[in-house]
Structure 1
Amino acid sequence: MSIELDADNNLQDEIREPLIIPERKILISDDPPQEQKHQWMVYMSTIAAVCGSYAFGNCAGFSSPAQAAITEDLNLSTAEYSLFGSILTFGAMIGAITSGPIADFTGRKGAMRVAAAFCVAGWLAIYFAQGTISLDIGRLATGYGMGVFSFVVPIFIAEIAPKNMRGALTTLNQLMICTGVSVSYIIGTLISWRVLALTGLIPCAVLVIGLLFIPESPRWLAKLGHQKEFETSLQKLRGKDANISEETAEIQDYIRTLDALPKAKMLDLFDKRYLRSVTIGVGLMVCQQLGGINGICFYVTSIFQSAGFPSNVGTIIYAVLQVVVTALGATLIDKAGRKPLLLVSGSGLVLGCFLVAVSFYLKVHEIALKASPIFAVVGILVYIGSFSIGMGAVPWVIMSEIFPINIKGVAGSLATLVNWFIAWIVSYTFNFLMSWSSYGTFILYGVINALAILFIIVVVPETKGRTLEQIQASINS
């Protein structure tokens, strides 16, 4: 990583050193085959962490199947239930703001424990709710847990995974979010809303128990100067017989250069040396959300109804498709690369928006009315399939890779906050835009997704097959 510090050229040279192979003689290579078989602790740690992602999905998927029953049981008005649904996003924004400092202060495992505690408290408040106050407090608490999980889970996975496995393992974050949403949609039609709330406790319990048996992020331990704990954690993750000396030296070299820099504050993110990584991280979050995903996700049932397609069938197909395609993306991300998946995904989003726009145009102008539902269903499925294979997961993977560890907390919080804020804007404005022009709404989303493709081509680097230190060095040089 090359950082321009005019006052100290020596420091500039030091920061480049981790990548100067002839001087350090640190060989940067793929994990030896004999060490790959000892990665069971990496898998176990990832499985424990993505229970938080599943809990995230539970929170996001709860309100849709529970809406009718909660409204009837608690005699809620439309406005009261709308507040209940939307307050989740505000809780997530608060969680995003505080997630970085929490993860830096208590560790990645500590931040996941905090998120799980808020989710448990929130679900219990919803389960015992007899009115709007307890209901809204519970929803706000689960939203806070979501906000923290959305930051810390991909960060933790990226920091523990070998470079050749990092993309696929980090993508499991999005896969489990989709799975949590889909399971909530499906079982929410079979059980009461109070029991559905209790099911949200299960992934939290599994997560908390799992955290007892997995190591802390070695990079976070190295950052704090806990040398013995750092080496122990890395050894556990790579296997007791693995040679970790080269990876240890590379991480320590990088940490030493960062220790010479002042502790980052929010305003420091706009410094020249960090500007590119912040632009990439925040820009991808804007691209992910501004293309309309939350508007379509929240109102997919009404979209199918408007198109004249059975909403229950459409929603189940939608839910299953996003899980299957997200799993496919997880298998491809370390083979095809991050950038190609983003470009394929963005192209599919533009096509999906175009097809839905055509559907609504035909319906509004009463042209080929039998074809209108076909265009709508195909367009929505192309859209969610395209989103799931790239734009859903890859921005989180790249965000976990590009920020130097000294700014990872504050920069990650900013990127996550922007993500949730744009998500709120899109979900809030969707119905207003549809009232203005149904086909115009999807043309607008299509144009935004086309601009996202341009942003990816021009700004976003490929990070496949490179260590975190290499990635951050090249971006911030």
Structure 2
Amino acid sequence: MSTAEEGTVPAMELEGDASNTLTDNLNTNTNNISGTEVPENKNGNAKVLQRLDTVPDIKRDTSGITTQCIAAGIVNLGSFAAGVCTAWSSSALQLMTITTETHLDRVAEATNGTHPKLMLTSSEASWVASLLCLGALWGAVPTGLISEHFGRKKTLLYLALPLVVSWILVSSSPNVYGLYVGRFVGGVAVGAFSVGIPPYIEDIAEKHLLPTLANFYHVHFACGVLFGYIIGMVQSTSWLCVLCVSIPVAFFIAFIFLPESPTYLVSQGKYSEAKAALRYFRGIDNDIKSEMKSLKEYVLNYRKTRVTFKELFTTRTSVKALIVSFGLMVFQQMSGIYPVLFYAENIFKTFSISLNPPGAAIILGFCLVSSTYFSTMLLKTVRRRVLLILSFLFMAVSLGILGIYYHLKASRLSSDNTWVPLFTLCTFVSVYAAGVGPIPWLMLREIFPSNVTRRATAITAGFHWFLAFGVTKLYQNLIDMVRPGWTFWNFAVTCIIGAIFVYFFVPETKDKTLQDIQNEFNGIHKGKKHRHVIELESISEA
């Protein structure tokens, strides 16, 4: 998830023979930089090149902007599918969980397709919801290394398979263990998408488009959550799974027509294929010779500056950056965002709102989508620290009001009211999507050097999903032990502590260079003052 520096393009690591191949080809095929075709066996398969020439692109898109946006939209169908997996439990678990209102004699008679309808206890339901995050942990960490060896496109394309298998298991399992396995397998794909999609976007996007296209992941994830809430209106677990499985199928069909990442192709010495792919993404009016040359030089030098996981934890600036990124993920997840998304309908039902819980969940999802969409504009104008602190504080206020309302309602000091829980939760997800949600991921590209970012991202993403699993699983335990009011107050206090953490430990990164940020990590804060003194001395001497 690294941002390319000026005049360079993000690249992947080279290992063993791939590095030797690249060096040999650069030394023996210098004519390829000027655009001259070279023999097939050193620059890619002729059938692949022919297929790239016939890939349906936007012929009138001379600048390549539309093509890049469409490609980013297609690959982010993976994040859309991840959002659907997250929202599924909100609707499905309401249809499958045993409550005090459930008549046991009717449970045995209920059917779901050809199998008896599964009825889960609250503990089993919490496992079904949280195992998605545990699977995501195992999918996120190795995906970066896998994509470096097998290619960005192949890795992402084949992730549609575990998602399809997951929905088949969920829809047809005769017992709860099949649900567990299905959710875990789907989580592997969800975690892999969170790490595998951003590098592909970085490889195909021009620098001025990268901030916008990088935010596509968060927007599509939010749209997937909203779609999951909408299809929850069908009130049938079988139909829910049928509609959900259509997303990875559509992703596979659409993504198969897109080219491989130009960076990966260059790393494998397939220059003709890389040039064809780059021409596809840049449009017919852009000259790609200089970019190809920069890409080759960047890939060739990347091996010299790459770091191992061990070095990542031994460099002072990297360790401090990891502390910042881990801290942000801790407070992001401990705020309770995933329990709210996973159990949206159940929460609204707990507060006895007069509005239909699926309808309230749809409103919640719409607020999440709209705030995520407009967060791009906020990130361009508002400083990171300010937005993080305000986001945490507003989240704390929203959760605190919700906790107070629950206690007033439990004490019969307040009658049932629809707008209080709906408004507070919509405010909560809106301010989360505007700041606390995207900024920790954005700062990964700003506080780490480009040769460190992808390893740091894999570790941070794994930590993110581990926290999401823990919070989602323990949420039901908190509800059972201290009731919803104290649970939401606990999340509110965590948000306040998160704001304090940002104030004291998180550096401002907006409009700052990597060197400025690393100087701050090293305790060097006198750069601007020193320049100011020099300027005054120069004026006095004149």
Counterpart check, 1:386 vs 2:412: no
1:350 corresponds in structure 2 to 396
1:224-275 alpha-carbon deviations (Å, 9 max, x no partner): 5655544443333222322445655655555454321355235634433532
Within the candidate set 479, 497, 509, 1:462 is matched to: 509
Partner of 2:248: 204
Distance 1:80 1:450, change over 3 A: closer
Aligned 8 A contact 2:87 2:228 in 1 = yes
What do residues 450-472 of structure 1 show as CA deviations (whole Å, max 9, x unaligned)? 333344454244356x9xxx65x
Higher mean C-alpha displacement, 411-420 vs 122-131: 122-131
1:439-458 paired onto structure 2 within 5 Å: 439-457=485-503, 458=505
Amino acid of the structure 1 residue aligned with 2:366: V
Q: Is the 8 A contact 1:282 1:414 kept in 2?
A: no
Relative to structure 1, is the Cα distance of residues 87 and 441 closer, same or farther in structure 2, using a 3 angstrom cutoff? closer
The answer to whether the 8 A contact 1:182-1:319 is kept is yes
1:324 aligns with 2:350: no
Q: Greater CA deviation, 262-271 or 204-213?
A: 262-271
Asked whether the 8 Å contact 1:351–1:382 carries over to 2, the reply is: no
Note the residue ranges of structure 2 that are not aligned, 5 or more in a row. Answer: 9-60, 98-109, 520-542
Q: Deviations over 1:348-406 (max 9, x none)?
A: 21221232233234345554x14876543332121111112222233333335655454
* Deviation for aligned residue 1:148: 0.5
Deviations 1:111-154 (A, max 9, x none): 21232111112122223323334333222211111111111123
Work out whether residues 120 and 204 of structure 1, in 8 Å CA contact, stay in contact via their aligned partners in 2. Answer: yes
Q: Would you say 1:412 and 2:457 are equivalent positions?
A: yes
Look up the SS of the partner of 2:234 in the other structure. coil
Partner of 1:7: none
- Tell me the residue number matched to 2:155: 111
The AA in structure 2 aligned to 1:362 is L
SS in 2 for 1:149: helix
Which stretch has the larger CA shift, 317-326 or 187-196?
187-196
C-alpha contact (below 8 Å) 2:444/2:453 kept by paired residues:
no
User: Corresponding residue for 1:422?
Assistant: 467
Give the deviation of 1:308 after TM superposition.
3.5
Identity among equivalent positions (%) equals: 24
Match of 1:64 among 90, 112, 121: 90
Farther off after superposition, 52-61 or 258-267: 258-267
- Residue of structure 2 aligned with 1:84, choices 128, 133, 150: 128
Q: Structure 1's 63 and 350: CA in aligned 2 closer, same or farther, altered over 3 A?
A: closer
Query: How far apart are 1:220 and its partner, in Å?
Result: 4.2
Asked whether the 8 Å contact 2:393–2:496 carries over to 1, the reply is yes
Distance (Å, rounded) in 2 between the aligned partners of 1:463 and 1:219: 27
Structure 1 residue 47 displacement after superposition: 1.1
**2:39 matched to which residue of 1?**
none
How far has the Cα of 1:42 moved from its partner? 1.0
Determine if the alignment matches structure 1 residue 121 to structure 2 residue 165.
Answer: yes
C-alpha deviation, 1:95, in angstroms:
0.8
**Structure 2 residue matching 1:162: 3-state secondary structure:** coil
In the alignment, is the contact (CA less than 8 A) between 1:218 and 1:230 conserved in 2?
A: yes
- The corresponding residue for 1:147 is 191
CA distance in 1, matches of 2:494, 2:238: 39
- What is the rounded CA distance, in whole Å, between the counterparts of 2:171 and 2:350 in structure 1? 33
Q: 1:139 to 1:437 in 2, by over 3 A?
A: closer
* Contact in 2 for aligned 1:354/1:379 (Cα 8 Å): no
Residue 213 of structure 1 deviates from its aligned partner by: 2.8
Per the TM alignment, residue 188 of structure 1 is displaced from its structure 2 partner at its CA by: 2.3
Match of residue 353, structure 2, among 300, 306, 309 = 309
Which one-letter code corresponds to 2:399 in the other structure?
Answer: C
* Distance of 1:283 and 1:249 partners within structure 2: 39
Maintained 8 Å contact 1:277/1:475: no
Contact 1:84–1:135, Cα closer than 8 Å, also in 2 = yes
**1:174 and 2:221 equivalent?**
no
Q: Secondary structure at the match of 1:216?
A: coil
- Could you tell me which residue of structure 1 aligns to residue 526 of structure 2? none
SS in 1 for 2:305: coil
Q: State the match for 1:292 in structure 2.
A: 336
Q: How far did 1:423 drift?
A: 0.9
From 44, 48, 67, the counterpart of 1:41: 67
Q: 2:28 maps to what in 1?
A: none
- Counterpart check, 1:397 vs 2:442: yes
Amino acid at match of 1:40: T
- Structure 2 vs 1, CA of residues 407 and 258 (structure 1 numbering), >3 Å: closer, same or farther? same
User: Contact (CA 8 Å) 1:48, 1:207: kept in 2 or not?
Assistant: yes
Q: Secondary structure at the match of 1:188?
A: helix
Distance change in 2, residues 1:274/1:234 (3 Å) = farther
Is 2:234 aligned against 1:190? yes
1:87-121 Cα offsets, whole Å, 9 max, x none, are 22221111122222222222222221232111112
3-state DSSP of counterpart to 1:260: helix
More helix by share: 1
So what's the TM-score if we normalise by structure 2? 0.72
**Which is worse superposed, 448-457 or 166-175?**
448-457
Counterpart CA distance in 2 for 1:200 and 1:253 is: 43
- Aligned-partner Cα distance in 2 for 1:462–1:267: 23
Name structure 1 gaps, 5 residues minimum.
1-14, 19-34
TM, length-normalised to structure 1: 0.80
8 A Cα contact 1:126 1:197, kept in partner: yes
- Aligned-partner Cα distance in 2 for 1:68–1:101: 38
Indicate the larger mover: 101-110 or 333-342.
333-342
Distance 1:133 1:16 in 2: 51
Counterparts of 1:55 and 1:278 in 2: how far apart (Å)? 29
Q: Which stretch of structure 1 is more off in the superposition, 229-238 or 38-47?
A: 229-238
State the match for 1:11 in structure 2: none
Cα distance, 1:55 vs structure 2: 0.8
Find the aligned partners of 1:312 and 1:212 in 2 and give their Cα distance.
Answer: 35
Between 96-105 and 444-453, report the one with greater CA deviation: 444-453
Q: CA RMSD in A?
A: 3.4
Partner Cα distance (1:474, 1:108) in 2: 32
